[in-house]
Amino acid sequence: MEQKLIIYNTLSRKKEEFKPITPGRVGMYVCGPTVYGDAHLGHARPAITFDLLFRYLTHIGYKVRYVRNITDVGHLEHDADEGEDKIAKKARIEQLEPMEVAQYYTNRFHQAMDALNVLPPSIEPHATGHIIEQIELVKEILDNGYAYESQGSVYFDVNKYNHDHHYGKLSGRNLEDVINNSRELDGTGEKHHQVDFALWKCAQPQHIMRWPSPWSDGFPGWHCECTAMGRKYLGNHFDIHGGGMDLIFPHHECEIAQAVASQGSDMVNYWMHNNMITINGQKMGKSLNNFITLPQFFSGEHEALTQAYSPMTIRFFILQAHYRSTVDFSNEALQASEKGLSRLMDGMKTIDQITAAEKGTGEHFDLPYVDELRTKCYEAMNDDLNSPILISHLFDACRVLNTVADHKATISAAALDALRELFHTFVLDILGLRPEAGSNSAREEAFGKVVDMLLEQRMAAKAAKDWTTSDRIRDSLAALGFEVKDTKDGFSWKLNK
Ligand code: ZN
């Protein structure tokens, strides 16, 4: 690999050089959505963060096997072990088969991901399709003495595990903290200790999602699926496991415990976590009425939104922050992102509009300028995926392009070609931004062609010394807010909003 990628490992709490287990190949697992409702902004962040990583690893030459699961069973309300299954609850209320609910929201999730230009993972396994693997995992943990059966359910014995290993090494907790912070439930439960978590749950008679097992008709605990499916598709040891910071405890802590308790060693080398999104400084939540889904962002149909925001605006908004920083959503912040995105996209268009020239009176940009810029762009990405710094370098390049467009500087043909390639690589391939599709941009393009047509008529009028027509076209366009400039090879225009 030409590039030396440094990433922050949540497990070691420091930045480390990324070294894959198998040279040239990367195994990467990211926790996907629970499909019982539309994805919201909080789901867009891990999807885009790990899409950026997937794209960058691929760009720098790795063959990446990217696994992102669909949780369609076992994610219970309240906490991992108590309450009703979220999908089963929705199915009961809407009188649907649970798989209809899961499929419906899986389809909607895929549509939102396509709109955000998030590439599909290499494998997208469903928890319900891997019940056998999860039962095998539970058996191994039982055989190794780190779990116990109780009334048809199986629980992980956290105390026993912590005696031999460290429960809490990912989240930086020790067992005492965990015990002090766990909710005390009344009465005697099935668990020996409050901190123990379910590996298998015996289903209540009314529970519709259930499978046979050696212990009972029931369903797997939520944490089992990622350990079982990660191992199935990426092996006993793989490179990267990612997700949102809210998954560090208990989900990922439990995954580590399950891996060590079953196979005797850690499964994952690098744990990576994106930070959270707050809305006007508050945590997102259904009860706060600031729970805005992605389809609502795209349509603008939510009382907290002053307008619709395009998927690329949302993507750019997320990429403008480093993935380990918090991001606060507000209409103002998204509007700023909308402007920033069009500045970047306009900069890219400018490359095709300006003409190369040899050194003139102003500053001249040649290949060394682009080489230096490219180095800086890679440095930003290699430094733990620093997308905001990368974007600031691209904005600098947009300023250079604008000075050339304004005839205050010149650029060589070779530099222009190299810049075109650089923008293509970093803006389209790595950041995954794309010119917005759909009626708006198509209309804008047609509309731009009409302006070009008028200005060509004005040029013809000028050539024929028909100054009246030429001035009338220019003045009419100016009245509509168009700024028209005569250039050496014709004209340029922009619309001042
Ligand atoms: Zn997971």
* pLDDT, tens digit (0-9, with 9 covering 90-100), for 127-136: 999 999 999 9
* Of 27-31, 186-190, 237-241, minimum mean pLDDT range: 186-190
- Centre of ligand 1 to C-alpha 252, Å, is 7
Surface-to-core class of residue 302, CB atoms within 10 Å of its CB (0-12 exposed, 13-18 middle, 19+ buried): middle
Taking residues 325-354, what's their average pLDDT? Answer: 94
pLDDT band, very low/low/confident/very high, at 112 (cuts 50, 70, 90):
very high
- Centre of ligand 1 to C-alpha 250, Å, is 10
Surface-to-core class of residue 171, CB atoms within 10 Å of its CB (0-12 exposed, 13-18 middle, 19+ buried): middle
Measured distance CA(219)–CA(221) in Å, rounded: 7
pLDDT band, very low/low/confident/very high, at 207 (cuts 50, 70, 90):
confident
pLDDT of residue 206: 82
* Of 4-18, 34-48, 186-200, minimum mean pLDDT range: 186-200
Q: Are the C-beta atoms of residues 319 and 52 closer than 8 Å to each other?
A: yes
- Centre of ligand 1 to C-alpha 32, Å, is 7
Taking residues 104-125, what's their average pLDDT? Answer: 97
C-alpha dihedral over 80, 83, 88, 91, to 10 degrees?
Answer: -130
- Centre of ligand 1 to C-alpha 376, Å, is 35
pLDDT band, very low/low/confident/very high, at 186 (cuts 50, 70, 90):
very low
Taking residues 77-87, what's their average pLDDT? Answer: 68
pLDDT of residue 187: 41
Measured distance CA(161)–CA(379) in Å, rounded: 42
State the pTM of this model: 0.86
- Centre of ligand 1 to C-alpha 144, Å, is 23
What tokens were used for 96?
């649907």
pLDDT of residue 442: 54
- Centre of ligand 1 to C-alpha 242, Å, is 9
Per the rule left: phi > 0, alpha: psi between -120 and 50, beta: everything else, 363 is: beta
What letter would DSSP give residue 121?
A: P
pLDDT of residue 91: 86
Taking residues 436-461, what's their average pLDDT? Answer: 76
Residues 293-330 have pLDDT tens digits of 999 999 999 988 999 999 999 999 999 999 999 999 99
Q: Nearest 5 degrees, angle CA 477-CA 482-CA 484? A: 85
- Centre of ligand 1 to C-alpha 251, Å, is 6
What letter would DSSP give residue 23?
A: T
- Centre of ligand 1 to C-alpha 110, Å, is 18
- Centre of ligand 1 to C-alpha 223, Å, is 6
Query: What is the three-class DSSP state of 122?
Result: coil
- Centre of ligand 1 to C-alpha 330, Å, is 29
- Centre of ligand 1 to C-alpha 482, Å, is 53
pLDDT of residue 77: 63
Per the rule left: phi > 0, alpha: psi between -120 and 50, beta: everything else, 329 is: beta
- Centre of ligand 1 to C-alpha 24, Å, is 25
- Centre of ligand 1 to C-alpha 226, Å, is 5
pLDDT of residue 185: 54
Residue listed under structure tokens 């389209």: 428
Backbone φ and ψ for 334, nearest 5 degrees, come out as -70, -35
- Centre of ligand 1 to C-alpha 71, Å, is 8
pLDDT greater than 60 at residue 7: yes
- Centre of ligand 1 to C-alpha 198, Å, is 15
pLDDT greater than 90 at residue 166: yes
- Centre of ligand 1 to C-alpha 349, Å, is 41
| C-alpha distances out from residue 418 to 56, 388, 435, Å | 19, 22, 20
What letter would DSSP give residue 432?
A: -
- Centre of ligand 1 to C-alpha 416, Å, is 45
- Centre of ligand 1 to C-alpha 269, Å, is 16
* Of 139-143, 382-386, 406-410, minimum mean pLDDT range: 406-410
pLDDT of residue 438: 46
pLDDT of residue 487: 79
pLDDT greater than 90 at residue 448: no
pLDDT band, very low/low/confident/very high, at 37 (cuts 50, 70, 90):
confident
Does the N-terminal peptide bond of residue 250 adopt cis geometry, omega within 30 degrees of 0?
Answer: yes
On average, the pLDDT of the chain sits at: 91
pLDDT band, very low/low/confident/very high, at 93 (cuts 50, 70, 90):
confident
Taking residues 261-274, what's their average pLDDT? Answer: 98
Measured distance CA(331)–CA(308) in Å, rounded: 10
pLDDT band, very low/low/confident/very high, at 238 (cuts 50, 70, 90):
very high
User: Which of 94, 40, 39 lies closest to 70, judged by CA?
Assistant: 39
Query: What is the three-class DSSP state of 60?
Result: coil
Taking residues 178-204, what's their average pLDDT? Answer: 80
- Centre of ligand 1 to C-alpha 104, Å, is 21
Buried b (16+ CB within 10 A) or exposed e, 76-91: beeebbeeebbbbbbb
Backbone φ and ψ for 159, nearest 5 degrees, come out as -60, -45
pLDDT greater than 50 at residue 16: yes
Q: Count Cβ atoms below 10 Å from residue 303 Cβ, excluding itself.
A: 9
pLDDT greater than 50 at residue 375: yes
Backbone φ and ψ for 354, nearest 5 degrees, come out as -90, 160
Residue listed under structure tokens 């996209």: 345
